[in-house]
Amino acid sequence: MTEEVIEQIQFEPRFAEEWKKSPMKKPKIKALIINTCVGESGPRYERSKEILRQITNREPVDRPAKESIRGFNIRKGESIASVVTLRGEEAGQALKRFLYAYDYEIKASSFDEQGNFAFGITEHVDIEDAPFDPMLGTIGFNVVVKIERAGYRIKYRQRKRQSVPRKHLLSPEESMEFLMTDYGMKII
């Protein structure tokens, strides 16, 4: 049997000096989006929604099916998924809890071109301090972490909306360094 050795990316702080000179360039966590989809409405969906409520202390938002699929007994408009979005300091604390399930290791391939990343959790009991109720069972979910710099607001504001300049966009390397220094993550 061949053992596959996963190498950790060598950490060389390249952007720390730049962030000290210009604090507005330092990335921050904009949002943490937690999504669970059971593919059906009914008691199983309600249980997954309750587990998500217990983990995040927030009310999940229902997501309806976009189209009817007769083979799976899904009707258009029927709630089959739920989502919770966390922002600010609450998002940072939740991210630390979710990364506990992975021993604070994330693959470099999980990052996109804008520095955001996503990962999945197969069972919610792997999360640090996650409640377990045998009546509810276990669920898995997707976690998407959106990382931005200050100044991205110009992309979303109502008046005089503009695109973010290329030199101000966040690269995956900057995002990785931010997570390694502030959250103690290992990128493999």
| Res 5: pLDDT | 47
| Res 11: pLDDT | 63
| Res 9: pLDDT | 56
Listed by start position, the domains of the chain span 16-187
Through-space distance between the first and last CA atoms of the chain, rounded to whole angstroms: 22
CB 97 within 8 A of CB 128: yes
16-187 CATH = 3.30.1440.10
With the CA atoms of 143, 140, 73 and 80 taken in that order, what torsion angle do they form, in degrees rounded to the nearest 10?
Answer: -40
Tens-digit pLDDT string for the chain (188 aa)? 444 544 555 667 889 889 999 888 899 999 999 999 888 888 888 988 998 998 899 999 999 989 998 888 888 988 989 999 999 999 999 999 899 888 889 999 999 999 999 999 988 877 877 777 777 777 889 999 999 999 888 888 899 999 988 888 899 999 999 999 998 888 88
| Res 116: pLDDT | 95
Residues 6+ apart with CB under 8 A from 183: 92, 95, 96, 99, 104
| Res 115: pLDDT | 93
